[in-house]
Amino acid sequence: MLTTRAPAKINLTLHVLGRRASDGYHELESLVAFTGAGDALSLTPAAALSLEVVGPTAQAAGAGPDNLVLRAARELSARVPGLTLGAFRLTKLLPVAAGIGGGSSDAAAALRLLAHANGLGESDPRLREAARATGSDVPVCLDPRAKFMRGAGEDVSAPLNLPPLPAVLINPGVAVETKPVFQRLGLSPGERADGSAHPAVEPGMEREALWRALARGRNDLEHAAAIEAPVIGDVLAVLGGAKGSRLARMSGSGATCFGLFTTPRAAVKASRAIKAAHPGWWIKSAVLR
């Protein structure tokens, strides 16, 4: 049995640059980081492909043919003749439809396990092709380290080696569908969006400089998502008002939000205090890398 983790993806920034005339996809520029924990995936190599999903959010994720783990396996199998598949077991811990790329990270984890089982190198172009065919967030999750993703997710930078960022993640238990959030932007194919350029983020940047750069960034989906789920505004207010908070922002298309904190201790203390006040929310302290 082979095992790996599928960590949550956090969009530290998410700038919408416009909407492409060629395919209608929104063009993005997003600085992405990952948590140290998330879902867990195992693979027992075999001739047949199957998936078992367990864990607290298993029912919401589902184990049907549209699960991204199975879709990723089928996409890679279509590109690698004789690919050994097998039985996947997904332990689903992350909230679903939450803006943290849980399903995409699961799919990327499946591709990594299949690559290992079949002796494929990490740089094999068929892995990236299968990732792109599976979903727009899957390529950036193949190597879960901080990096930029651009375009519709197909353009992924090299890892940025950023300093660890103490954080608190909160999902208020409301699923937010991505499509209506983008629709609320009202961009027509070929239309460019207004907005300032993304602040410069350099590899190896020091934490204080990174905080300043992030403060000049934004998530262009935040307002639209808050219309879909007004509780997002409550979560951001709680995170922004917590002691030691440097920045509060939504991830992806929501509803998960994150707060960046001065120290890991401050993040843990804030997490405990918020849990006591909001026991129905999914709340985790984390370190983003």
The string of pLDDT tens digits covering residues 78-106 is 999 999 999 999 999 999 999 999 999 99
- What is the rounded distance in angstroms from the CA atom of residue 252 to the CA atom of residue 217? 14
CB-based burial of residue 149 (10 Å sphere; 0-12 exposed, 13-18 middle, 19+ buried)?
buried
Same domain for 135 and 74: yes
Residue 89, classed as helix, strand or coil, is strand
* Model pLDDT, residue 37: 84
pLDDT in tens, the chain (289 residues): 999 999 999 999 999 999 999 999 999 999 999 998 899 999 999 999 999 999 999 999 999 999 999 999 999 999 999 999 999 999 999 999 999 999 999 999 999 999 999 999 999 999 999 999 999 999 999 999 999 999 999 999 999 999 999 999 999 999 999 999 999 999 999 999 999 999 999 999 999 999 999 999 999 999 999 999 999 999 999 999 999 999 999 999 999 999 999 999 999 999 999 999 999 999 999 999 9
Boundary (domain end) residue, out of 125, 156, 187: 156
Given 39, 106, 137, 220, which residue is catalytic?
A: 137
Same domain for 110 and 8: yes
Same domain for 198 and 108: no
CA distances from 45 to 16, 40, 103, 178, 259 (A): 40, 16, 21, 34, 40
Residue 173 and residue 281 in contact, taking contact as beta carbons nearer than 8 Å: yes
Q: Check which CATH number belongs to the domain holding 41 and give it.
A: 3.30.230.10
What contacts 8, CB < 8 A, 6 or more positions away? 34, 35, 37, 38, 94, 100, 101, 102, 105, 169, 286
Query: What's at 124, amino acid-wise?
Result: D
Same domain for 35 and 16: yes
Same domain for 56 and 146: yes
Same domain for 74 and 8: yes
Catalytic residue flag (residue 92): no
Residue-range definition of the domain harbouring residue 111: 2-156
pLDDT digits (tens, 9 = 90+) for 225-263: 999 999 999 999 999 999 999 999 999 999 999 999 999
**CA torsion 107→111→112→117, rounded to 10°?**
140
Cα dihedral sign for 129, 135, 136, 140? negative
From 235, 262, 271, select the one nearest 251 (Cα to Cα).
235
* Model pLDDT, residue 188: 97
**CA torsion 274→278→282→283, rounded to 10°?**
0
What contacts 230, CB < 8 A, 6 or more positions away? none
How would you list the strands of the sheet with 257-261, edge to edge? 245-250, 257-261, 165-171, 282-288
Same domain for 223 and 134: no
Catalytic residue flag (residue 137): yes
Domain count, the chain: 2
Residue 59 and residue 71 in contact, taking contact as beta carbons nearer than 8 Å: no
Partnered with residue 54 across adjacent β-strands are: 91
Same domain for 171 and 124: no
* Model pLDDT, residue 36: 87
Same domain for 219 and 130: no
CA distances from 24 to 17, 46, 54, 179, 182 (A): 13, 39, 36, 12, 11
